[in-house]
Amino acid sequence: MTQLVLVSRGYDLSALAPRITQAAPELSVHAFGTPEAADAEVAVCWNPPPGALRTLPNLRLVHAVAAGVDNILCDPGFPPVPLCRIVDPAQARGMSEFVLWSVLHFHRGFDRVLANQRDARWDPPDQRPAHACTVGVMGLGEIGLQVARDLAHMGFRVLGWTREPKREAGIESFAGRDALPAFLAQTDVLVCLLPLTAETRGLIDAQLLRQLRPGAKLVHVGRGEHLVSADLLAALREGRLGGAVVDVFEAEPLPADDPLWRAPNLVVTPHMASSAGFDVVAQQIAENVRRMQRGEPLMNQVDVGRGF
Ligand code: NDP
């Protein structure tokens, strides 16, 4: 039997165990720290404690339970084995729902209407067509591309910012740091769907926010460390930024005394934008373990050197 270990901090993976054994009865699943786990060939992780993976001498595969792998690769002791992540079209569609809601929240003036309701104020906002609003999506990967396509389908003007140029109908492509100012200067609603890497950490700071159209909005669904939250607060308080929906934070759960909870026109959501169901996660892990055993190419393997 192949031994598999669940390694997680802050997220209970125990409900994944029966699903993995159902998808792959030849796997024996253990919690990290138990004697059986010491022989594990496969580690399934969310936010593993630094150094934990290094203690597993037989490790042949590390599998994330999520699309992002930053909380695994941040371990300086990450072992020299393949790392795979989850890619799920249903998760991408779920993200699209979340971002579409966020864009419409601002575009159709629900933010102002909800604030007015507290004062029993009847003040219908102006209605602008979708094409009058430009949404800039940073990251057109497995998730960002679905989001950008759906926004374009709704009639929004959509720009995409990536490392390499893209050819995608209905999406204007901007690639690399040199193209970032032109991308930002045209953006009314900025959506962050980047992976967290050395290049993208702290990217959304005062300098970036200043380059957006006056009164622009931010929809941040990447990772907390992309955003310099003090700069976001200042931009909102000074009115340079018109509003934000923020789903991801450096510290999660967001502490009760964090000023972001009470920032003007900021919607805080509890890292809920989209996740893959445990059944899908278990099936992808089971399939990759079979591929590992047969020596076949793995699905959704991460480029560890690149960081995503
Ligand atoms: P992918 O790895 O499929 O795509 C990443 C995209 O980001 C690519 O288009 C890539 O460009 C672009 N990119 C990476 N680095 C840079 C850079 N330095 N400059 C410009 N563009 C860059 O990722 P996914 O779409 O699967 O997921 C994206 C992220 O979304 C995850 O890493 C995670 O952080 C976040 N997420 C958040 C969730 C939530 O609930 N809040 C749920 C799921 C994911 P190129 O194509 O040119 O390589």
Burial (CB count <10 Å: 0-12, 13-18, 19+), residue 49? middle
Ligand 1 atom 8: residue of nearest CA: 141
Ligand 1 atom 19: residue of nearest CA: 163
Q: How high is the pLDDT of residue 42?
A: 98
| C-alpha to C-alpha distances, 136 to 34, 77, 92, 142, 253, nearest whole angstrom | 47, 36, 17, 16, 28
For the entire predicted model, the pTM comes to 0.98
Mind listing the pLDDT tens digit for each residue in 106-154? Answer: 999 999 999 999 999 999 999 999 999 999 999 999 999 999 999 999 9
Average pLDDT, integer, range 215-224: 98
Q: Report CA Rg, the chain.
A: 21
In short, whether 160's Cβ falls inside 6 Å of ligand 1 is no
Average pLDDT, integer, range 100-108: 98
**8 Å CB contact between 139 and 174:** no
Average pLDDT, integer, range 196-204: 98
Q: How high is the pLDDT of residue 236?
A: 98
Sorted by where each begins, the domain ranges of the chain are: 2-88+276-294, 89-268
Q: How high is the pLDDT of residue 88?
A: 98
Q: How is domain 89-268 classified at the CATH fold level? A: Rossmann fold (3.40.50)
Q: Which neighbouring-strand residues pair with 84? A: 63, 301
* CA neighbours closer than 13 Å in the CB half-sphere of residue 293: 14
**Cα 179 vs. chain centroid, distance in angstroms?**
22
Mean of all residue pLDDT scores within the chain: 97
End-to-end CA distance of the chain: 31
**8 Å CB contact between 67 and 85:** yes
Band (217; pLDDT cuts 50, 70, 90):
very high
Band (263; pLDDT cuts 50, 70, 90):
very high
The atom number, within ligand 1, closest to the CA of 68 reads 32
In short, whether 43's Cβ falls inside 6 Å of ligand 1 is no
Mind listing the pLDDT tens digit for each residue in 266-307? Answer: 999 999 999 999 999 999 999 999 999 999 999 999 999 999
Strands (E), the chain: 2-8, 27-31, 42-46, 61-64, 83-84, 134-138, 157-162, 171-175, 189-192, 216-220, 241-246, 266-268
Same fold, 2-88+276-294 and 89-268: yes
**8 Å CB contact between 193 and 141:** yes
Closest-CA residue to 246 (of 233, 257, 73): 233
Mind listing the pLDDT tens digit for each residue in 31-45? Answer: 999 999 999 999 999
Side chain identity at 46, as an amino acid letter?
Answer: W
Q: Which two tokens stand for residue 76?
A: 């300086």
In short, whether 26's Cβ falls inside 6 Å of ligand 1 is no
Average pLDDT, integer, range 255-276: 98
Give the separation between CA 291 and CA 24, rounded to whole angstroms: 12
Average pLDDT, integer, range 172-180: 98
Does 60 qualify as catalytic in the annotation?
no
In short, whether 139's Cβ falls inside 6 Å of ligand 1 is yes
* CA neighbours closer than 13 Å in the CB half-sphere of residue 126: 4
Q: How high is the pLDDT of residue 6?
A: 98
DSSP states along 234-280: HHHHTTSEEEEEE---SSSSPPTT-GGGGSTTEEE--S-S----HHH
Q: How high is the pLDDT of residue 62?
A: 98
Average pLDDT, integer, range 191-214: 98
In short, whether 193's Cβ falls inside 6 Å of ligand 1 is yes
Phi, psi dihedral angles at 67 (to 5 degrees): -75, -40
Q: How high is the pLDDT of residue 143?
A: 98
The β-bridge relationship of strands 134-138 and 83-84 is: unpaired
Q: How high is the pLDDT of residue 118?
A: 96
Domain 2-88+276-294 maps to which CATH number in 3.40.50.2300, 3.50.50.60, 1.10.10.10, 3.40.50.720? 3.40.50.720
Average pLDDT, integer, range 96-113: 98
User: Ligand 1 centre from 141 Cα, in Å?
Assistant: 5
Ligand 1 atom 7: residue of nearest CA: 139
In short, whether 262's Cβ falls inside 6 Å of ligand 1 is no
User: Ligand 1 centre from 22 Cα, in Å?
Assistant: 31
Q: How high is the pLDDT of residue 31?
A: 96
Catalytic residue among 19, 149, 157, 223: 223
Ligand 1 test: best mutation among 163, 173, 254, 306, most atoms within 8 Å of CB? 163
Does 223 qualify as catalytic in the annotation?
yes
